[in-house]
Structure 1
Amino acid sequence: MSKRLRTPLLLLGMLTSLCACAESTLPPATGKSSYPEQVDLEGQPYKLENAEQACVLRKPDLSVLPLNLPSPCHFSVGKDGQAHVEIFQNVPIVMVLHVAPVAENELECRSQYKAIRLIEGQLEPSVLAQSASCLRGVGDQKGYTAMFDW
């Protein structure tokens, strides 16, 4: 590729990245989040809650699953504005995220997240993953499945 064409493409890529960051929104640090905090898996409700500044998942039997994520947290958001449930090999999987701005700069974030699958009637959280970006939206199927042994 010629240098003459490479420079405009590089600038276009940088501008696209800046626009994507500028459009990113973060859940409010306080108050009610506009992001989904409840999801139905196999017909049962599961809800994210704050327990001593940590995020936990409240199960239908009212017990909690600690997630080792700071609060606030939320589920990944589908196109319908609801929590996204990814199905892989007939197993439902959700993604729980904690997204925080870096030093009052809402264009730069640090994110922590975990996939949680409901397999054979049992919840199984993945390992904790981290990202130096403002994660939002659904992402791709690999993000939901790669952190588990299948």
Structure 2
Amino acid sequence: MGELTALAEEKRVDILCIQIHHIYHENVHIEMKDMGKGWVLAMSSGTKNTVNSTVGGVDILMSPFAYKSLEYLKKASPRILLVKFSGNPPPTVITCYSPTNCSPDNEAVNFYSLLSDVIKKIPQHNIKIICGNMNAQVSSIDSKGFTFGNRTNRNGQYLLNMT
């Protein structure tokens, strides 16, 4: 059992979303990894960029309890992984990793557009849990709430436009 799994078990965390692991595997589908003691890691590979570095990749670590209630996993993209569990109402978890603010604008537009579409397709009665690194900064003026930033960056604007 790895350090992350042991810590999740110690803290009684059943679902842990992981972003930007920089791991690449040839499998275009979701790779499942036995982490020991019934814990399972579902991995979506990162992608190779123009200089052959691995970028992104998202995972979800599930306790034995969470894994037993797993209904399905869906890889919407290398940056978005959708996980539905059984329950009443059923919880749906999205783990995602947005392109950074210095990435080409079309990458961010495509990411936030796809994320919005994925969220909209989840039935209204489901519990929606979105975990991710949005690489977004939103000012308190734009959010009309409590934030840490004093300005809204590009990804922050895309995030606000989703709501």
**TM-score, normalised via structure 1 length:** 0.24
Structure index of larger Rg: 1
Q: From the two aligned structures, give the one with the greater helix fraction.
A: 2
Q: From the two aligned structures, give the one with the greater strand fraction.
A: 1
**TM-score, normalised via structure 2 length:** 0.23
